[in-house]
Structure 1
Amino acid sequence: MKAMLVDDENLALLQLRKMLKEIDGIEVTGAYQDAMAAIEAAKADAPDVVFLDIHMPEIYGLKAAEMLQEICPDIEIVFVTAYDDYAVQAFELNALDYVLKPVRRERLTRTVQRLLQHAGDHPKAPPASRVALIRCLQTMQIELPGLGPETVKWRTSKAQELFAYLLHHRGQLVRKGALLDLLWPDFDIPKATTHLYTTIYQVRQDLKRMGVNIEIRSLSIKESYVLDASRVRIDADEWEQELRRLEPLSAANVYEHQRVMDLYAGDYMADNDYLWAENERQRLRMLWLQHAQRLGDYYVQHERPSEAIAVFLRMQQQYPYYEGSYLALMKLHAWFKDRAGVEEQHRLLSLVLEELDVAPNESISQWYTEWKSQSAQL
């Protein structure tokens, strides 16, 4: 295993190099006091691991780690630090490896053994050429070809939300300050920044481990990140594209319309209920509801009541606060002369409206009043 060492203190570099030479399985290919020089050297040397001091005068160690990870996506990083509450807490939370100064031989040996074992257990990341499907409808999952969907076990809820937020804004610049405000609003800037860098590192490692070809780039000049999702599929995008490709409803394509309606697995990131995703959640929901309403109306117009009932029941189960499904089902039950069915739908709607403390739509009230009057005369 090829190792690179980076520390602005020459004595610390010499000591670390001497210790590593006495440990089997690892070869030191370069030692640098200047982080930028190390980053340049990494392009050619492609080290397997870098031992990196977190506190350096020219460039913050976590920032250097971020840059090294972009150059060498498979690189392992071990942070070397004097005790630092912020750093150690963030490292432990995100399961990043670190050793404390002054470096102890026993601790360094354990770290190297862990690195060698990890390299043996995972000789290569899964092929990135396989196009992953990112599922965002209802539950966030990742699916690789030939495998079922996997709900990712992110190290922390912050890592999950960080990935989701960057994916939501894919292809756009996301300011680091905006991420600090979103995810760590109660932390001071140094602590929040440390958590941001270590969480980004962990997200990248998890994506690499799963073989998901998503790149998160750091743009230093603009102090931003950008997530490139051009090499993966996203179910919400694909569903909307299929919906927009549909021709107007007809006997020839009604089953294709039904298939697209059924493809909608649920609201966008619904299980996470992120507030920042609400606009997109509402937009996709309205697209689905409008499409389902048209499909249900088509079945009604062509006297296919069973299919119409199935569509409107699906709408009602998915969105119980959508009044249109109750009215449609009341009319269908009336068509079947099922008085109890009409009354049950009216009762369910009344309960929903009572919960919301709103009055029923006037057209629904008018239809129900007229139906009651007519049915009483029968």
Structure 2
Amino acid sequence: MLKVMIVEDEQPTLEMMNMLVDQNKHLSVVGSFSNPIEALDQFPLLQPDVVFLDVEMPDMTGMRLAEKLIQTNENIQIVFTTAFEQYAVDAFKVNAVDYLVKFVTPEDIERVSARLIKNHEQLTKIKSLEESKGASIRCFGTFEIRGTDGSVIKWPTRKTEELFAYFLLHVNQVISKWRLMELFWPNHKHATTNLHTTISRMKKVLRDNQLPIQVEKVNEGYLFDLQNIECDLEAFKNYFSTNKKVAKENLAESEKTFRLYKGSLFELKDYIWSIGLERELAERYTYLTEQLVNYYVEKKMLEHAEETMKLYLTMYPLHEEMNVKLFKLYASRCGYKEQLKDHYTKYVKLLKEELDVEPSDEVKKYASFE
């Protein structure tokens, strides 16, 4: 709901405007004034989102007042009201959202409120982006949160950090407080207190680092909203919610998502509750790698296919299917006998050192380099 201030020198009209605005479900009057000087003084305290201004007023015109209000808050939305249409051009010189000719009707307020809400949503999004500039969350191959200044955030306790990690898996979902207590403080007589304390610590860290991340109490649970913070996990998950196969139309997005994955989820943190998702994400990464390789091979982009498989194998060097794909690629290309021989030797040696096993029959097919 948008906060509204009304400035109108005629008392009957002021009362009518109050009534009309309050009837609109999207608007709420926080202050109404017949004196523009008084309105200007109270403006910083009320902090309205919208100001309805009469154009012709004694002591200070609506145009002049609008200029002063904009100097205080450049994002304030101005709507002029007047009985004289000739002021319309002047009104838009101060970037007024709209210009209502008296007498104003409920339909006029409904129409202008739609524009006001749309503008406010855009301003909020821009502000959020500006606030989160430089902030980032990395979950693949590490677990690192950076503030808006780029510095790594330090958590007061390991439990606070772990709870934040858990919320990252459930963005925009209401998580039951009972579920959180059962998971983090099972059979603990002070579980409720521990949860509230940990949530408070988390919120303080977010405030201190100016991160526009919301953790809200909703009934018997909590809702976690990342706003516009850059998060590799959320971007990775979002890709698979809208894409099923790599194609020309989504190639750039597919390649970007492939590069997001730099290792297992929350690597080295050993969160028991994340094991299932960790396996699922690894499987999705493998699937995406295979999709990219198949696309590159189909389009004769063999260098891209080779590089993609080699990057994958830096994280999962023992993955047999991917190694076989790389063997096949080398075997199909003229002049790549040495690359095939070198990679085969390294893979067989790794199998022996890590697993103490011999290569499979499928792999042994590539043992001959003649």
Task: Provide the TM-score with structure 1 as the length reference.
Answer: 0.52
Task: Give the counterpart letter for 1:163 in structure 2.
Answer: F
Matches within 5 A, 1:163-242: 163-184=164-185, 188-190=188-190, 192-218=191-217, 222=220, 225-229=221-225, 231-233=227-229, 234-242=231-239
Residue by residue over 1:97-133, the C-alpha shift from the partner in whole angstroms, topping out at 9 and shown as x without a partner, is xxxxxxxxxxxxxxxxxxxxxxxxxxxxxx8673465
Task: Give the counterpart letter for 1:140 in structure 2.
Answer: F
Task: Tell me the CA shift for residue 305 of structure 1.
Answer: 3.0
Within the candidate set 268, 290, 295, 1:293 is matched to 290
**Counterpart Cα distance in 1 of 2:297 and 2:218:** 55
Residue by residue over 1:32-79, the C-alpha shift from the partner in whole angstroms, topping out at 9 and shown as x without a partner, is xxxxxxxxxxxxxxxxxxxxxxxxxxxxxxxxxxxxxxxxxxxxxxxx
Counterparts in 2 of 1:279 and 1:351: CA distance versus 1, 3 Å = farther
SS of equivalent residue, structure 2 residue 141: coil
SS of equivalent residue, structure 1 residue 151: coil
Within the candidate set 139, 144, 149, 2:142 is matched to 139
Task: Tell me the CA shift for residue 270 of structure 1.
Answer: 2.6
Residue by residue over 1:149-181, the C-alpha shift from the partner in whole angstroms, topping out at 9 and shown as x without a partner, is x43200111110011113323444544454445
**Counterpart Cα distance in 2 of 1:215 and 1:258:** 30
Give unpaired runs (5+ residues) of structure 2: 1-126
**Counterpart Cα distance in 2 of 1:303 and 1:349:** 26
Within the candidate set 261, 268, 281, 1:264 is matched to 261
Matched-pair contact (CA < 8 Å) for 2:177–2:222: no
Task: Tell me the CA shift for residue 139 of structure 1.
Answer: 3.0
Aligned to 1:363: 362
Aligned to 1:153: 154
SS of equivalent residue, structure 2 residue 366: helix
Q: Does 1:332 align with 2:345?
A: no
Aligned to 1:13: none
Counterparts in 2 of 1:196 and 1:246: CA distance versus 1, 3 Å = closer
**Counterpart Cα distance in 2 of 1:315 and 1:206:** 35
Task: Give the counterpart letter for 2:342 in structure 1.
Answer: E
Aligned to 1:309: 306
Identity, % of aligned positions: 26
Task: Give the counterpart letter for 1:189 in structure 2.
Answer: K
Task: Tell me the CA shift for residue 352 of structure 1.
Answer: 4.5
Task: Tell me the CA shift for residue 207 of structure 1.
Answer: 1.1
Aligned to 2:345: 347
Give unpaired runs (5+ residues) of structure 1: 1-126
Structure label with greater radius of gyration: 2
**Counterpart Cα distance in 2 of 1:182 and 1:255:** 39
Task: Tell me the CA shift for residue 317 of structure 1.
Answer: 0.4
Task: Provide the TM-score with structure 2 as the length reference.
Answer: 0.53
SS of equivalent residue, structure 1 residue 189: coil
Matched-pair contact (CA < 8 Å) for 1:134–1:232: no
Task: Tell me the CA shift for residue 292 of structure 1.
Answer: 1.5
Give the number of aligned pairs: 238
Task: Give the counterpart letter for 2:164 in structure 1.
Answer: F
